[in-house]
Amino acid sequence: MVKPVAVAAIATIVGGCTPALLDPAGPVASGERTLLINSVAIMLGIVVPVIVATIVFAWWFRASNTRARHRPDWSYSGKLELLVWSVPLLVIIFLGGMGWIASHRLDPSRPIAARQRPLTVQVIALDWKWLFIYPEQGIASVNRLVIPVGTPVTFRITSATVMNSFFVPRLGSQIYAMAGMEAKLNLMADRPGRFRGLSAHYSGEGFSDMAFAVDAIPAGAFAGWAAKANGQGPALDGRAYLALAQHKAAARPFTYRSVPAGFFAAAVRQAGAPVHDTQRGGRES
């Protein structure tokens, strides 16, 4: 009975927001929803009684109630003090314990157990667009992330400009993208569909356009998409990357048919400007 009440309370609180957080499409987002619901349920164990007691006390000790007696004289009670302090202490212990366990179980860098071999996707945040590189397939896409259902995806994330935040609410954890640094995130979609990806960190004018589509499709369809992308579109070389980086307006999704070896490593090493390195070629690290 507690769980439906907690879900209803959360839905009321975030009524003006997207329901994505309560409709997970992957194991990480599902674990985060469970943590959210359990935490709210535990806190409601104090909040609801306090609200009810406040209303009851205000009603009983109203000025018109002649049966209410004012008893200002009282003495110290150890049992009462123990009760007053033990309840919030237990709540803190429960919340802290759940948070500690979840922080390890849902660690962004922790691999997701699955039968399929993980897919690696390298992510570069640009102004104001996202570049997704598939090093194993040798292709790249802009503002569209395509992943196979049921396959863990290992994201390696950096920024070619200011700090940003990579977030797909229905898949789970957001993580920051920073120039000159590489962040790792492991997610998986356990159902097909199109999900919304976004930047959760304000990065200036054009920030509202920094969204991307996430298409979770069957493994066979993913292989077909990768093969099709490999045979069409421009090549992602230094000149094409520079043109993409300098384009400040919103970009429609499109793909690159090829990506030089070492492109992402150069982007991290040069804080988002791998133009010269990729023209010489390099080895992925």
Q: Where are the beta strands (DSSP E) in the chain?
A: 119-126, 129-134, 139-142, 144-148, 153-159, 164-168, 172-177, 183-187, 193-199, 211-217, 254-256
Question: Could you report the per-residue pLDDT of 152-192, keeping only the tens digit for each?
Answer: 999 999 999 889 999 999 999 899 999 999 999 999 999 99
Distance CA 148, CA 190 (A): 9
Q: What is the pLDDT of residue 226?
A: 96
Residue 140 DSSP SS3 = strand
Reply yes or no on whether the pLDDT at 205 is more than 90.
no
Domains of the chain: 2-105 (1.10.287.90), 119-280 (2.60.40.420)
Question: Could you report the per-residue pLDDT of 77-93, keeping only the tens digit for each?
Answer: 888 889 889 988 988 99
Reply yes or no on whether the pLDDT at 6 is more than 90.
no
For the residues 100-129, what does the mean pLDDT come to? 93
DSSP secondary structure string, 33-81?
HHHHHHHHHHHHHHHHHHHHHHHHHHHHT-TT-TT----------HHHH
**Token pair listed for 92:** 């803190």
Reply yes or no on whether the pLDDT at 279 is more than 50.
no
Q: What is the pLDDT of residue 19?
A: 66
Worst-scoring range by mean pLDDT, 31-45, 207-221, 242-256, 263-277? Answer: 263-277
Q: What global pTM score does this model have?
A: 0.81
Q: What is the pLDDT of residue 3?
A: 52
Q: For residue 111, give the DSSP letter.
A: P
Residue 274 DSSP SS3 = coil
Tell me the pLDDT band of 273, cut-offs 50, 70 and 90.
low
For the residues 214-226, what does the mean pLDDT come to? 96
Distance CA 40, CA 34 (A): 10
Reply yes or no on whether the pLDDT at 231 is more than 90.
no
For the residues 267-276, what does the mean pLDDT come to? 68
